[in-house]
Structure 1
Amino acid sequence: MLNLSKCQNVSHVGLSSLTNGAEHLKRLVLAYGPSVTTDLGKCLLNYSRLNSISLDGCLVTCSGTKAIGSWCASLRELSLSKCLGVTDECVSFLVQAHRELQKLDITCCRKITSASIDCITKSCTFLTSLRMESCSLVSEDAFLLIGQRCQFLEELDVTDNEINNEGLKSISRCSKLCRLKLGICLNITDDGLTHIGSGCPKLKELDLYRCLGITDVGIAKIACGCPTMEMINIAYNDKITDSTLISLSQCLRLKILEIRGCPSVSTVGLSAIAGACRQLEVLDIKKCFNINDNGMLALGQSCQNLRQINLSFCSVTDVGLLSLASTNRLQNMTILHLTGLTPNGLAAALLACGGLTKVKLHTSLKPLLPKYIFGYMEGRGCVFHWRDKAFREEIDPNGWQLHVERSPEPA
């Protein structure tokens, strides 16, 4: 393997010098490096064992893709994520020349259309991984082709695309599917998830971030049909309630749960997860205002594998935070804007959680904590990250208290 990522000043001449005689070269990484031109493509013409190349973030020319299409090697993996210059013509050359492709990444290739998906699915029927986040010119009909022609898929990322329920119905034919990303797909509803739940029993990872059309009904179908689920992201879906968490408690192998910004979930649902999903490792409950100390007590009693938690804007106090100390493997905590937390309670919790390596806190707490805490924690290998993001409290028309951040929330 040769990695020349971010080496923008290495031309085809330098690449030829490095690879000269490297007959065993199998993988090449040129991400965010030189432009993919005819000369660069030609210098790799005769490397018959080369089966994987990453061109992420590179400027790709049509003549360069033609040169790659003429290689004697048969690529198995090709990544064009965020490449400038990739068009339907480029994709057509590449996939017709390398029909044995198993993994293809065309994330943020914003010039390609449904014509590319037609050519990909027709030429590369043995694809196991297709990543195509934010391919905004691809129409909803194109997603029907994926399910019809690429039934060996194990991973599909269609985040921020025009896929709809009919597309999910087609994709449900991919019975080997393990990872499915549907974040910000605004045209899907519970009907589409019902198809996935019935057709993809091996699904382990599902991303439904900001899929505003889904409800508890769709998640129940997923939980019932995909019992080996290990990761699910349902952040910022305001129709999700405790019923979703109770359904997901059937997935006993669940390790990662992201329910940030789901205001209708509460300690009741979280306690159901804690009691059943004892392999839980990562939990994001930021802005779940109705989760309180009882939820933390349930986690402390049952989830001994918990490594990471985000508690920001929850209704957790000193008692709840201290109860997390009994989860012996906790390494990473984010604690911003917990109004029920006192400096003494925070200090006690930090000392009690002996495995912490990263803690994110609001800067307002820094002068309130005993100074010895920092030296002691840093001596144990813990790093503090301080945030000064301000917020204001408002009351919505229904009487709920809202915490509104003044600056954009980071990803």
Structure 2
Amino acid sequence: MTTGIDQLPDHLLLAHICPLVHLQDRWHGLARVSKRWRRLTLASVHREKHVDLTWCTGEHELEAATAVLLNRQSQRGKSDRNLSVETSQLQSVALYGPRVTSPLLSHLVKGLGSEQLRHVDVESKQISDTALEQLCRCASLQTLSLHCIKLTDESLITISRSCPKLTKVDLSGCSRVQDDGIIAITANCPKLQKINLTMCRRITDRSIVALAQHASLSLEEITLDRCLKISGPAIRFLMRMQRNLQSFSFARCPKVQGTDFYNLVEMTQNKSSCEIVTLDLSGCAGLDDRGVAALITTNRYTLRSLNLGALQSLGSSTFSAITRCTKLESLNLSLCRTLQNRHLMTIASGCTQLSTLLLQGCVALEDTGLKALAAKATNLQRLSLEFCYNITNEGFVAVVSRCQQL
């Protein structure tokens, strides 16, 4: 005899059925079936580590979801009296949109437990600077992502002083943040490992120097994309000081010049420096062939991912440097119009571990180069050739027949 799902005990539904349903569907579907399913929905959410409320974009939707989430009263059924949401496992929350207000954030932090929260992600153009200071109560916070254009140094300084355990900070898009806020983070967060400052357009070399002088040398990942005021010498200093840096991106930084790195190889020969695994230089119009080659050569033994997209001045020095990166797995040369068949041949010969190669817009490439690539890069899993107008079916056939993992 088949047993109906409603006849199953609560603990089985909670353990095996609820986790299969997306959080939004639990809220809009399961919770509306009956009082029992509403109780199970709430209990299942509190069993998880992370709750994503970014789907709450309708009017009053976020407020309603928050109210349900914080309804922590035990609603025990007849069959499972020990079922309770009093011991919530939630440590992480993500919020989005104009409904994220100071009262809601305060209510959420207090309800979930300020000491219990480890990760907070807020994206909102409307939330005020002072409202974000509610996060100061989360002293155990480890990861903080704030994509809020109204965030300023004043609140960032206050938050950094109250959250010394931060290991990851993402402020991408916080265009009002300036040097004092970043300096406060480096001074007050000794365990900082990852920081994203994409489009923090007001920060200058002062912030970069502060990151370079971060005392614990714990920084592993730094993103500085579209930071309009930072310069090459500050970046060079950062690379020399933070020896544990593994992922570094300063894409589309207009003040960075190739000449800033001409002597980089000589400077690092007798001094320890970082050994970068992932490097993104894309769109830096001031970088030239010699400067890019120096950056690659300095990290040739460790590089696994390299993005040189939209760099228009690359030449033989850069392409020769790439061939010496024997561990390279991902290479982006999109819109590098100077890439010739012979360059692609040498890269394919030296970088035999390549699994991803992006060549869209490399208009000088022809079938000859693609055939050479197919013969050497047999580990390729992804290859992009959009707008490579001189490549014909002959080149594509060679790649498809030799690169079986594509």
**TM-score, normalisation: structure 1:** 0.78
The aligned counterpart of 2:302 is 279
Q: Which amino acid aligns with 2:62?
A: T
Q: Which amino acid aligns with 1:283?
A: L
Deviations 1:152-181 (A, max 9, x none): 100111101121101011111211111100
The aligned counterpart of 1:95 is 109
The answer (yes or no) to whether the contact 1:214–1:237 under 8 Å persists in 2 is yes
1:80 aligned counterpart, secondary structure: strand
Write the mapping of 1:124-139 to structure 2, written as runs, cut at 5 A.
Answer: 124-133=138-147, 135-139=148-152
The aligned counterpart of 2:198 is 183
Paired with 1:29 and 1:160, the residues of 2 have a C-alpha distance of 32
The answer (yes or no) to whether the contact 1:308–1:332 under 8 Å persists in 2 is yes
The aligned counterpart of 1:388 is none
User: Relative to structure 1, is the Cα distance of residues 359 and 21 closer, same or farther in structure 2, using a 3 angstrom cutoff?
Assistant: closer
CA RMSD of aligned residues (A): 3.2
Q: Which amino acid aligns with 1:341?
A: L
Deviation at 1:28, TM superposition (A): 9.3
The aligned counterpart of 2:209 is 194
1:199 aligned counterpart, secondary structure: coil
User: Relative to structure 1, is the Cα distance of residues 182 and 247 closer, same or farther in structure 2, using a 3 angstrom cutoff?
Assistant: farther
The answer (yes or no) to whether the contact 2:277–2:303 under 8 Å persists in 1 is yes
Question: Is the deviation greater in 336-345 or in 289-298?
Answer: 336-345
User: Relative to structure 1, is the Cα distance of residues 115 and 257 closer, same or farther in structure 2, using a 3 angstrom cutoff?
Assistant: same
**Residue 344 (str. 1) matches residue 355 (str. 2):** no
User: Relative to structure 1, is the Cα distance of residues 114 and 36 closer, same or farther in structure 2, using a 3 angstrom cutoff?
Assistant: farther
The aligned counterpart of 1:151 is 164
The answer (yes or no) to whether the contact 2:370–2:399 under 8 Å persists in 1 is no
Paired with 2:222 and 2:262, the residues of 1 have a C-alpha distance of 15
Q: 1:54 aligns with which of 49, 52, 55?
A: 52
User: Relative to structure 1, is the Cα distance of residues 102 and 337 closer, same or farther in structure 2, using a 3 angstrom cutoff?
Assistant: same
The answer (yes or no) to whether the contact 2:240–2:274 under 8 Å persists in 1 is no
Deviation at 1:185, TM superposition (A): 0.7
Paired with 2:208 and 2:20, the residues of 1 have a C-alpha distance of 38
Q: Which amino acid aligns with 2:294?
A: A
The answer (yes or no) to whether the contact 2:47–2:90 under 8 Å persists in 1 is no
Q: Which amino acid aligns with 1:333?
A: L
**Residue 66 (str. 1) matches residue 59 (str. 2):** no
The answer (yes or no) to whether the contact 2:194–2:222 under 8 Å persists in 1 is yes
**Residue 256 (str. 1) matches residue 278 (str. 2):** yes
Paired with 1:129 and 1:340, the residues of 2 have a C-alpha distance of 45
Deviation at 1:88, TM superposition (A): 1.9
2:211 aligned counterpart, secondary structure: helix
Q: Which has the larger radius of gyration?
A: 2
- Larger strand share, 1 or 2: 1
Q: 2:96 aligns with which of 75, 82, 88?
A: 82
Unaligned runs of 5+ in 2: 1-5, 33-37, 73-85
Deviation at 1:372, TM superposition (A): 3.4
**Residue 268 (str. 1) matches residue 284 (str. 2):** no
Paired with 1:213 and 1:62, the residues of 2 have a C-alpha distance of 40
Paired with 2:224 and 2:244, the residues of 1 have a C-alpha distance of 17
Write the mapping of 1:385-404 to structure 2, written as runs, cut at 5 A.
Answer: none
1:232 aligned counterpart, secondary structure: strand
Unaligned runs of 5+ in 1: 1-13, 383-411
Question: Is the deviation greater in 206-215 or in 82-91?
Answer: 82-91
Paired with 1:24 and 1:175, the residues of 2 have a C-alpha distance of 41
Paired with 1:32 and 1:295, the residues of 2 have a C-alpha distance of 49
User: Relative to structure 1, is the Cα distance of residues 21 and 332 closer, same or farther in structure 2, using a 3 angstrom cutoff?
Assistant: closer
Write the mapping of 1:215-234 to structure 2, written as runs, cut at 5 A.
Answer: 215-234=231-250
**TM-score, normalisation: structure 2:** 0.79
1:131 aligned counterpart, secondary structure: strand
Write the mapping of 1:365-376 to structure 2, written as runs, cut at 5 A.
Answer: 365-367=390-392, 369-370=394-395, 372-376=397-401
The answer (yes or no) to whether the contact 1:309–1:334 under 8 Å persists in 2 is yes
Q: Which amino acid aligns with 2:378?
A: G
User: Relative to structure 1, is the Cα distance of residues 372 and 118 closer, same or farther in structure 2, using a 3 angstrom cutoff?
Assistant: closer
Q: Which amino acid aligns with 1:226?
A: Q
The answer (yes or no) to whether the contact 1:282–1:306 under 8 Å persists in 2 is yes
Paired with 2:159 and 2:261, the residues of 1 have a C-alpha distance of 29
Deviations 1:212-240 (A, max 9, x none): 01101321332233111111111111111
Deviation at 1:140, TM superposition (A): 3.5
The answer (yes or no) to whether the contact 1:25–1:49 under 8 Å persists in 2 is no
Paired with 1:286 and 1:46, the residues of 2 have a C-alpha distance of 47
**Residue 288 (str. 1) matches residue 280 (str. 2):** no
Deviations 1:341-365 (A, max 9, x none): 3331232223222211111113524
The aligned counterpart of 1:405 is none
Paired with 1:51 and 1:29, the residues of 2 have a C-alpha distance of 16
The answer (yes or no) to whether the contact 1:36–1:61 under 8 Å persists in 2 is no
The answer (yes or no) to whether the contact 1:27–1:51 under 8 Å persists in 2 is no
Q: Percent identity?
A: 19
The answer (yes or no) to whether the contact 2:329–2:354 under 8 Å persists in 1 is yes
Paired with 2:17 and 2:144, the residues of 1 have a C-alpha distance of 24
Paired with 1:34 and 1:115, the residues of 2 have a C-alpha distance of 33
Paired with 2:237 and 2:203, the residues of 1 have a C-alpha distance of 14
Paired with 1:313 and 1:260, the residues of 2 have a C-alpha distance of 10
Q: Which amino acid aligns with 1:68?
A: L
The aligned counterpart of 1:22 is 14
User: Relative to structure 1, is the Cα distance of residues 18 and 129 closer, same or farther in structure 2, using a 3 angstrom cutoff?
Assistant: farther
**Residue 109 (str. 1) matches residue 108 (str. 2):** no
1:96 aligned counterpart, secondary structure: helix
The aligned counterpart of 1:160 is 173
